[in-house]
Structure 1
Amino acid sequence: MKISEILPKEAIIAELEAKTKREVLEELTDAVLRHKPQLDRHRLLEVLLEREKLGSTGIGEGIAIPHGKIDNLDQLVVSFGRSTRGIDFESMDGKPAHLFFLLVAPENCAGTHLRALARIARFLKSATVRRRLGLAATQEEIFNIIQQEDDVF
């Protein structure tokens, strides 16, 4: 599974307007809804916020991968957002997060969900990938970087 196969270009936000964790989740949810408008925004946000209560999905090194499972979904959906100024996401290393992948999976597909999470985490372990995504100016450029780097992993 490649990230570029599950992340539609329209679900990429080149510069998040968010200033808080909740606002990040709202913006990334809205990006998902552009691709999957049948999802219930309120329910999706509720699922993501509940997951964050268990422990932050800010994994450090400027990365956060908020995720959750929801019914009424037939396939994995992903959105991406970038904040050049950084947002406090209560990350493990205490530093602001800059790169965000939101991952939403169908309620009954744990294996796919975990594989996608692992793939995104592996992808973002690369300092080169993080730097390139941090410097990209547009949605198109971010999508192209993800496609190019996806082939390496």
Structure 2
Amino acid sequence: MKLEQILAPECTACDVEGGSKKRTLEQIADILAGFRPGIGASELFDSLITRERLGSTGFGKGIALPHCRLTNCDKPMAALLKLREPIEFDAMDNHPVDLIFALVVPEEATSEHLAILQLVAERFENASFRNRLRNAQSNHELFELAIAPLPN
């Protein structure tokens, strides 16, 4: 699977005022609910928060990968946010987060969910990839850099 199959330009935002973990998850829910008719922002936010309570999705290195399964989601979808200022996210390395890739998959998509998370995690392990995203100046540039082949 390629990122452009789950991440749309409309769900990519640069220079977002996050403020807090909760507020950022609310923004993600609003973005994805606005993009996909039939999915409510409050239901999506509740699912993201419920998953977050199981353990932080703060990946480390300034990255968070919040994710959840949703019953009325018919195919995987994602949002990518570059925050204006890093926020506390209870990350594994205790560093604040400034890049957030959120994933929502159908309830029954267990193996697909894990495969997408692995793909995204591998991309974010690449320091050049992270740096390119952090240097993006617009939503369009952030999207294009996110879906581009990984740098060496």
Q: TM-score scaled to structure 2, two decimals?
A: 0.95
* Higher helix content, 1 or 2: 1
Cα distance per residue 1:13-59 (max 9 Å; x no partner) = 11211210011101111111232031021111111111111110001
List alignment gaps of at least 5 residues for structure 2.
none
Aligned partner letter, 1:37: P
Contact in 2 for aligned 1:13/1:31 (Cα 8 Å):
no
CA displacement at 1:11 relative to structure 2: 0.2
CA displacement at 1:6 relative to structure 2: 1.0
* Higher strand content, 1 or 2: 2
List alignment gaps of at least 5 residues for structure 1.
none
Q: State the partner residue of 1:137.
A: 137
Partner Cα separation in structure 1 for residue 101 and residue 30 of structure 2: 13
Matched, 1:107 2:115: no
Partner Cα separation in structure 1 for residue 3 and residue 38 of structure 2: 22
What is the correspondence of 1:1-153 to structure 2 with a 5 Å cutoff?
A: 1-149=1-149
Structure 1 outlier segments of 4+, above 4 Å = none
Partner Cα separation in structure 2 for residue 8 and residue 49 of structure 1: 23
Partner Cα separation in structure 2 for residue 28 and residue 41 of structure 1: 9
Q: Cα RMSD (Å) of the superposition?
A: 1.4
Paired positions, count: 152
Partner Cα separation in structure 2 for residue 4 and residue 110 of structure 1: 20
Contact in 2 for aligned 1:16/1:27 (Cα 8 Å):
no
Q: Secondary structure at the match of 1:93?
A: coil
